Structure 1
């Protein structure tokens, strides 16, 4: 039997899937359109400054056992990176400027100062309510999930745990607001939980699944919790996954743009590259978005209803990015690495340019910048409308002017952290939704699906076309690294022999 699997896209989901399949014994080739692996998590360098193109917030990766599926992937393929930990970030909110940290107790101190004892009581009660829900959310790891008959065997070791958590598992199926509304009445706390929900899923609490928030509570509010950052930046994490893939015999082809999925006798049997080369395999797994995967299919390859349903998937907005290399002379080494800025709660956390995130990773890993310098990444997280940019010519002055105008909110946010930032700047790069669309091959530059909890379900990895599976942010709730890593594991498991899947669970300590 042909044991070759072709994976379209080298995002974290695709690489997680590829490395696990290689560990399972498949002959794996990853086709990446860009010249750099990593998808939205790739890193790049300018004048000695190393920038993360995407993720800047990591957790659950520096310790074991961890609920983070990406930790499970790294352990399964036998690779890792060095992690530095921290627990504090800065907040610039309408209520004031302060520093906070992961962990329930420290946040209670902030609440006490900002809102008083009633808010603290509500928060502590929410912690009590969320504890059993958090335990239910991690009762079965995604590492055990597969979408075929073998799931009966791989899920069996967790049957008792699932049964004992059954009442709480049912509570996890709807939006988080359904839990929050009966407990949280303080306006600031409701806004804060909307913000956390938005950062997890691209949606406020009434659209974010309770399961996603329960997972976050399980990770962020445990005793002694720390946040993580990979030494070497996101590029080091990508390189580790590529290393794991290659260690088990797989490969990544860069500058290998897939033009079409090849279908023969109602089965996906390969991919045709822009160069005209065809790569054939037993299965094709698309790490492209739900919309971009459809563009790769020949007309009539899947039922019309499937196409229409997938095309109708609601989308999150896109990003604005500001990548800066600056002179760090005189800046405090105690400056927080991450900062969250909310301009106006009344607009809602999803309003364009209302929320801005700042990451200064060279505070954690000085090697990301030349001596005496800092690397900074500022972005508007999934709240930049693509329609403002649609049809613009990137080579025209109008585009340049709009980039300048739409980037000002990020400069202004950064000036709240480093007031003289503009005079310190040595490298300045602005990314737009068109940048996302061009370099990441993202439909309309989107952050990912905006499927509201209780109103729709994320697609499963299997498709009506035999031999075609999907992974990535379009196939698992949540948009961050844990979600895409989980999707990659599930797709890989679905193809793997059950015996090898069980061996992997045993290696992870789950049997």
Structure 2
């Protein structure tokens, strides 16, 4: 019998597994696919390697938000590549181009050159981001002040904060321009999510040679070196219970894997679906609450391979919006007016070119109906295929218009992925990019805790707390704190454990 059984091997599951295995617990991670990693995994097409959902991280330097977490997880010595300090995010809105620089002073000065009357607003903006980031340092203190601060910011609207802090509506849009790392939902997006993610990248922004796979390998190594196991092709179909507690995970082949504590790193609605309704472990109202929660949008992605015309490595993201009003109101259009160009760093430090690029394009609610989620023959749907063709053409058009490509740039091969692709390979319902939509107006229902009504079932991953590499990593430590205690986690993060 295992001390810990973890369902799913995304970043949240693997990080939780590494933390607990290194504390002497016997850990077994069960992953339904052929490789571990979830959205950290890569895939190959036509001899080229592309990332699934990992593109960059923020806050890796000493004193910054992600550093203590990655230090404990032994991830700091991976081949990180710092993005352009003068412009890690190039934001195109209509015909205008803006730069997001790393570091508070440079960030403010760069934008104040374009918006000289907004210097006070920019300082207030950064004050809020930094105070939100600072709360992470105290998250595991015995005093509840940091957690109170977190709950307060979760209950505030990011959109409303920008409205009252920044006078120029164009600057409000610019400050939201690096936010395709989250869903810019004007009514729902919590200020905490907006601030924590943006703050980490302004501190410092990084890519990783090899994409997300080095992270996966390092975490799996730690689990296995501590005596744990990571099993692939092990799909959990049911959770078995007795005497009010879970006792085993049943796999698709009928095998039962017994455990004392269970951690779910899959979507909460899928977790609920694993627990038989006649088990008596979950009330009907809880099931209905979880199953009714709305998910964030997914992405259409154009994966470009151009081996014959290598591209100068673009050490920044390029975010493209058709107009200033479109950033917070994507749901009003059938075709999203937003695009993101990203690329993996070269495989070796002495290389200056790449042969692959990704162009990401958010899905709007109107397009979601074309994905025919209730059928398996969606590929035969003429409207679905027409939408894919139009989206691919739009992505390639934005790439050629906004990226510094060689004059003879030639695409040899393109691969596309849609939310249905993400759903198939990561299990995320409807291919949601960021999991459950947290709603600042309805936190008790939409902000989930690592705890569940079942005493020995915890949850982690992008639908708990905050999504993204930073959010999921912090949540893994929050989940582990339920078993190890907050003081133990605090000591880990300050290097005393």
TM-score (norm 1): 0.84
Map 1:194-205 to 2 at 5 A: 194-196=176-178, 198-204=179-185
1:4 aligns with 2:3: yes
Distance 1:443 1:507, change over 3 A: closer
1:84-233 to structure 2, matched below 5 A, reads 84-86=81-83, 87=85, 88=87, 89-112=89-112, 114=114, 116-128=115-127, 130-135=129-134, 137-141=135-139, 144=140, 155-156=141-142, 162=145, 170=152, 173-196=155-178, 198-204=179-185, 206-216=187-197, 218-221=199-202, 225-233=203-211
Q: Is 1:460 aligned to residue 449 of structure 2?
A: yes
Q: 1:380 aligns with which of 343, 353, 361?
A: 361
Instruction: Give the aligned partner of residue 344 of structure 1.
Output: 323
Structure 1 equivalent of residue 429 of structure 2: 443
- Deviation of the 1:342 alpha carbon: 0.9
1-structure distance, mates of 2:201, 2:439:
23
Taking the aligned partners of 1:131 and 1:299, their CA distance within structure 2 comes to: 45
**What is the 5 A alignment of 1:265-304?**
265-301=243-279, 302-304=282-284
**Match for residue 472 of structure 1?**
461
CA displacement at 1:270 relative to structure 2: 1.4
| Secondary structure of the structure 2 residue equivalent to 1:415 | helix
Partner residue, 2:420:
434
Q: Which residue of 1 aligns with 2:410?
A: 424
Distance apart, 1:195 and its partner CA: 3.9
Q: Secondary structure at the match of 1:233?
A: coil
**Cα offset for 1:66?**
3.0
Question: What residue number does 1:406 align with?
Answer: 391
**Distance (whole Å) between structure 2 residues aligned to residue 218 and residue 370 of structure 1:** 30
d(CA) in 1 for partners of 2:417, 2:358: 11
Q: Give the total of aligned pairs.
A: 478
TM-superposed deviation, 1:139: 4.3
* TM-superposition CA deviations, 1:463-509 (whole Å, max 9, x none): 12232211111211x3211111122222222123x4xx645533432
Structure 2 segments unaligned to the other structure (5+ residues) = none
Preserved CA contact (<8 Å) 1:414 1:421: no
1:217 Cα deviation (Å)?
A: 5.5
- Bigger drift between 410-419 and 318-327 goes to 410-419
Quote the RMSD (CA, aligned, Å).
Answer: 3.0
Give 1:134 shift.
Answer: 4.3
Task: Please state how far the C-alpha of 1:394 moved relative to its aligned partner.
Answer: 4.8
- What is the CA–CA distance in structure 1 between the aligned matches of 2:379 and 2:153, rounded to whole Å? 51
Asked if structure 1 preserves the Cα contact closer than 8 Å seen for 2:45 and 2:415, the reply is: no
Q: Quote the Cα distance in structure 1 between the aligned partners of 2:262 and 2:441.
A: 31
Q: Once structures 1 and 2 are overlaid, which stretch shifts more, 410-419 or 280-289?
A: 410-419
Q: Which residue of 2 aligns with 1:149?
A: none
For the residues of structure 1 that align with 2:324 and 2:265, how far apart are their CA atoms? 35
Whole-Å separation in 2 of the counterparts to 1:130 and 1:19:
30
Aligned mates of 1:194, 1:36 — CA distance in 2: 35
| TM-score normalised by structure 2 residue count | 0.86
Assess if the C-alpha contact under 8 Å between 2:301 and 2:361 holds in 1.
yes
Matches within 5 A, 1:236-385: 236-301=214-279, 302-327=282-307, 329=309, 331-333=311-313, 335-349=314-328, 350-351=330-331, 352-361=335-344, 364-367=345-348, 373-381=354-362, 383=364, 385=367
